[in-house]
């Protein structure tokens, strides 16, 4: 399987920032300095996302010397070249034989800790490009902002802002490397974009052409961002979570000035100390002045109360290790987050500040933000698809009116394959969609499954979306990824994720007829992946 799941875009300078701490142990194999530095860079760019910078393991296995030395040089080289059944990608088509050999040696050496990134570094990196008082006082364009899509152009370090009404690119904005997600301000005016390199950019949609008005490097490796959304605190603060250093930072919501950094290092739910508990998903509660901050390796879910950030209150909820992505139930009281490598979904009751349930599922649930709909038999449910299984799991979410179904797997629908990343529906839609971009089979990764919510027994329709795009044949696979609805809820958009130099497209499907409605093509659409519709993202509609 190609190594797409691993970050395949250079995240520069992590190891160039400061000399890494020398921690070689007796008996470690050795590499010449140049080979070691090159391997450290490859490890960080391609492996750390799943295995951790300190190689403690998360979505991927523990790769500390104690484990890797047992496997030995030859076996490690084989695994790196050809991958494993367990989901480890193959690198033989991306890395040279020498790179694989050196990497196999490197991972038998004691891991070096990269530098920290504290308040001074953040302040030095912070640029207030246009201060709030110099920004427009009214909307300076005629674009229907509710229906703008912020589209990740993964391998070019940009986002495309696409006018969803005309389906044309409004602007392309330079952002961080291998951008991960976009989130909206409570007002719907600002788009916050976080890059894997920790760069956070704030884009003003009121400008004639939207541009970055503030930017900061929040860490050296990051995945998540949100703002304060509770009444009275709308956009007062922004928050970004890092993978490295393991911490989150609270910033001024309108300028991104860093205000407070909180480490997430600590003990796991098993009581063992972990030096690298990375911040995975973050979401802002609409019912309390709180963020839900999911700490991957410890399995701790933090409810961070932002009413008084100098005397910060954190409620720490124990759940399951390897927390990753998740979304609200329809009532927005419960947050459901996948502990993917534990095969569990944790349910947090944000009103009472407690774990409501820990639901065991088929392997590796991966919901994105999930999908909410009313099941004809079980009432309100939340859905997730899976990386490790060809099912779409439905979990009951209504303990008041459907207590017998609440927090139980009430159904497992058949997806067209494993290797799925995202499910999606919309309150106005009767369809439930799921992709499978990491499946090894070409027909499967090009296709999506769609169920009629009112008649799930009828079984799914499987539609090849990549073929609809009419792109020329190239060597790269055309992975169909991440469905996202328009503001009206009558179109669903899918990205074609191919190679950096391959032509790509976004396919717009009419939700009712399930037929192609438009194809957005442009040479500037380089590796489109995640898409974030302004209205749906602003109000957590999914
Ligand atoms: Fe993601 C969400 C982490 C690889 C596309 N991804 C998330 C979130 C986390 C995360 C923690 C939740 C953010 C939130 O809600 O606050 N992703 C990681 C990884 O650690 C991982 C496995 C490896 C890596 O090195 O980054 C990884 N992710 C990918 C990809 O390869 C994807 C498919 C393509 C890409 O653009 O990089 C990808 N991730 C996404 C998308 C979301 C996301 C589109 C947001 C989904 C949504 O609908 O909200």
Q: Is the ipTM of this complex over 0.85?
A: yes
Q: Identify the residue whose C-alpha is closest to ligand 1 atom 39.
A: 180
Q: What is the pLDDT of residues 154-172, one digit of tens each?
A: 999 999 999 999 999 999 9
Does 181 sit in the ligand 1 pocket, CB within 6 Å? yes
What number is the average pLDDT over the span 437-454? 96
Q: Please report which confidence band the pLDDT of residue 330 belongs to, taking 50, 70 and 90 as the band edges.
A: very high
pLDDT reported for residue 16:
45
Q: What is the pLDDT of residues 17-57, one digit of tens each?
A: 444 444 567 677 889 999 999 999 899 888 998 999 999 99
Q: Identify the residue whose C-alpha is closest to ligand 1 atom 33.
A: 5
Contact 512, 527 (CB under 8 A): no
User: Is position 88 annotated as part of the catalytic site?
Assistant: yes
Does 450 sit in the ligand 1 pocket, CB within 6 Å? no
Question: How far apart, in whole angstroms, are the C-alpha atoms of residue 76 and residue 4?
Answer: 20
- Residue 129 CA, distance from chain mean position: 27
User: Is position 119 annotated as part of the catalytic site?
Assistant: no
What is this structure's pTM? 0.94
Q: Identify the residue whose C-alpha is closest to ligand 1 atom 44.
A: 530
Question: How far apart, in whole angstroms, are the C-alpha atoms of residue 357 and residue 317?
Answer: 11
pLDDT reported for residue 5:
56
Of the residues 47, 122, 202, 300, only one is catalytic, namely: 47
Pairwise pLDDT comparison (311 vs 114), residue with the higher score:
311
User: Is position 47 annotated as part of the catalytic site?
Assistant: yes
pLDDT reported for residue 13:
46
Distances (CA, A) of 249 to 28, 144, 193, 241, 392: 36, 32, 15, 7, 34
Q: Cα-flanking dihedrals φ and ψ of residue 236, to 5°?
A: -60, -40
Among the residues of 366-495, which ranges form H helices? 442-445, 465-468
User: Is position 207 annotated as part of the catalytic site?
Assistant: no
Is pLDDT above 70 for 282? Answer: yes
What number is the average pLDDT over the span 227-247? 98
Of the residues 366, 375, 386, 402, only one is catalytic, namely: 366
Q: Is 100 helix (H, G, I), strand (E, B) or coil?
A: helix
Which H or E run includes 38?
Answer: helix 33-42
Beta bridge partners of 304: 291, 314
Residue indicated by tokens 């995975």:
280
With the most atoms of ligand 1 within 8 angstroms of its CB, the residue from 3, 181, 322 to mutate is 181
Does 7 sit in the ligand 1 pocket, CB within 6 Å? yes
Does 421 sit in the ligand 1 pocket, CB within 6 Å? yes
Q: What is the pLDDT of residues 104-114, one digit of tens each?
A: 999 999 998 88
96: tokens are: 């040279």
Does 530 sit in the ligand 1 pocket, CB within 6 Å? yes
Is pLDDT above 70 for 188? Answer: yes
Of 306, 304, 309, 302, give the one whose Cα is nearest residue 323. Answer: 302
User: Is position 539 annotated as part of the catalytic site?
Assistant: no
pLDDT reported for residue 114:
87
Question: How far apart, in whole angstroms, are the C-alpha atoms of residue 536 and residue 540?
Answer: 6
Does 11 sit in the ligand 1 pocket, CB within 6 Å? no
What number is the average pLDDT over the span 171-176? 96
What number is the average pLDDT over the span 306-333? 98
**Percentages of the chain per state (helix, strand, coil), in multiples of 5:** 15, 35, 45
With the most atoms of ligand 1 within 8 angstroms of its CB, the residue from 191, 244, 325 to mutate is 325
pLDDT reported for residue 83:
86
Does 482 sit in the ligand 1 pocket, CB within 6 Å? yes
User: Is position 300 annotated as part of the catalytic site?
Assistant: no
Is pLDDT above 70 for 9? Answer: no
DSSP secondary structure, 465-511, as one string: HHHHTTPPP-SS--EEEEEEE-TTSSEEEEEEE--TTS--EEEEEET
With the most atoms of ligand 1 within 8 angstroms of its CB, the residue from 530, 537, 538 to mutate is 530
Atom of ligand 1 nearest to the CA of 282: 16
Q: Identify the residue whose C-alpha is closest to ligand 1 atom 47.
A: 368
Beta bridge partners of 217: 199
Of 283, 250, 440, 443, give the one whose Cα is nearest residue 367. Answer: 283
Ligand 1 centroid – CA 414 distance (Å): 23
Is pLDDT above 50 for 291? Answer: yes
pLDDT reported for residue 84:
81
pLDDT reported for residue 24:
63
Positive or negative torsion for Cα 33, 35, 41, 47: negative
Is pLDDT above 60 for 8? Answer: no
Atom of ligand 1 nearest to the CA of 152: 36
pLDDT reported for residue 409:
98
Q: How many residues does the chain have?
A: 542
Of 413, 424, 434, give the one whose Cα is nearest residue 480. Answer: 434
Does 5 sit in the ligand 1 pocket, CB within 6 Å? yes
pLDDT reported for residue 58:
87
Ligand 1 centroid – CA 224 distance (Å): 9
Q: What is the per-residue burial (b if ≥16 Cβ within 10 Å, else e) of 263-297? A: ebeeebbeeeebebbbbbbbbbbeebbbbbbbbbb
Is pLDDT above 50 for 530? Answer: yes
Q: Please report which confidence band the pLDDT of residue 176 belongs to, taking 50, 70 and 90 as the band edges.
A: confident
Ligand 1 centroid – CA 26 distance (Å): 37
């Amino acid at each position: 399987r190609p190594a797409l799941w691993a970050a395949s875009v250079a995240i520069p300078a992590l190891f160039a920032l400061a000399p890494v701490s020398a921690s070689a142990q007796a008996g470690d194999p050795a590499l010449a300095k140049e080979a070691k530095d090159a391997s450290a860079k490859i490890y960080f760019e391609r492996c750390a996302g799943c295995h951790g910078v300190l190689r403690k393991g998360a979505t991927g296995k523990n790769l500390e010397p104690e484990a890797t030395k047992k496997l030995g040089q030859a076996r490690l080289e084989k695994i790196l070249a050809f991958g494993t059944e367990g989901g480890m990608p193959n690198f033989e088509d991306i890395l040279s034989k020498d790179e694989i050999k050196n990497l196999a040696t490197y991972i038998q050496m004691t891991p070096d800790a990269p530098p920290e990134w504290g308040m001074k570094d953040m302040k030095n990196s912070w640029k207030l490009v246009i201060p709030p008082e110099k920004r427009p006082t009214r909307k300076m364009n005629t674009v229907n902002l509710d229906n703008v899509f912020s589209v990740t152009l993964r391998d070019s370090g940009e986002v495309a802002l696409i006018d969803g009404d005309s389906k044309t690119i409004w602007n392309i904005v330079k952002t961080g490397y291998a951008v991960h997600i976009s989130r909206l301000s409570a007002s719907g005016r600002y788009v916050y974009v976080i890059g894997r390199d920790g760069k956070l950019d704030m884009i003003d949609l009121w400008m004639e052409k939207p541009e970055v008005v503030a930017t900061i490097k929040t860490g050296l490796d990051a995945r998540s961002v949100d703002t304060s959304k509770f009444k009275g605190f709308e956009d007062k603060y922004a928050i970004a979570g890092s993978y490295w250093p393991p911490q989150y930072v609270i910033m001024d919501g309108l300028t991104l000035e860093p205000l407070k950094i909180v480490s997430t290092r600590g003990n796991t739910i098993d009581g063992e100390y972990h030096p690298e508990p990375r911040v995975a998903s973050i979401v802002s509660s609409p019912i309390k002045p709180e963020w839900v901050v999911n700490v991957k390796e410890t399995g701790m879910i933090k409810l961070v109360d932002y009413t008084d950030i100098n005397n910060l209150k954190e409620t720490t909820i124990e759940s399951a290790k390897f927390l990753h992505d998740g979304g609200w139930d329809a009532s927005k009281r419960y947050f459901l987050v996948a502990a993917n490598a534990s095969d569990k979904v944790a349910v947090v009751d944000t009103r009472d500040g407690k774990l409501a349930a820990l639901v065991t599922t088929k392997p590796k649930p991966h919901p994105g933000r999930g999908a909410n709909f009313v099941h004809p038999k079980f009432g309100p449910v939340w859905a997730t698809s899976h990386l490790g299984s060809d099912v779409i799991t439905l979990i009951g979410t209504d303990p008041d009116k459907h207590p017998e179904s609440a927090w139980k797997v009430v159904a497992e629908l058949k997806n067209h394959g494993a290797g799925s990343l995202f499910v999606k529906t919309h309150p106005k839609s009767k369809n439930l969609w799921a992709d499978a971009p990491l499946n090894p089979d070409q027909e499967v990764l090009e296709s999506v499954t769609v169920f009629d919510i009112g008649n799930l027994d009828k079984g799914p329709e499987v539609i090849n979306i990549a073929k609809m795009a009419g792109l020329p044949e190239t060597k790269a696979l055309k992975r169909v990824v991440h469905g996202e609805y328009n503001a009206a809820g009558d179109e669903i958009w899918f990205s074609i994720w191919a190679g950096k130099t391959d032509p790509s497209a976004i396919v717009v499907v009419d939700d009712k007829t399930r037929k192609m409605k438009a194809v957005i093509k442009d040479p500037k659409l380089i590796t489109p992946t995640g898409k974030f519709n302004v209205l749906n993202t602003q109000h957590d509609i999914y």
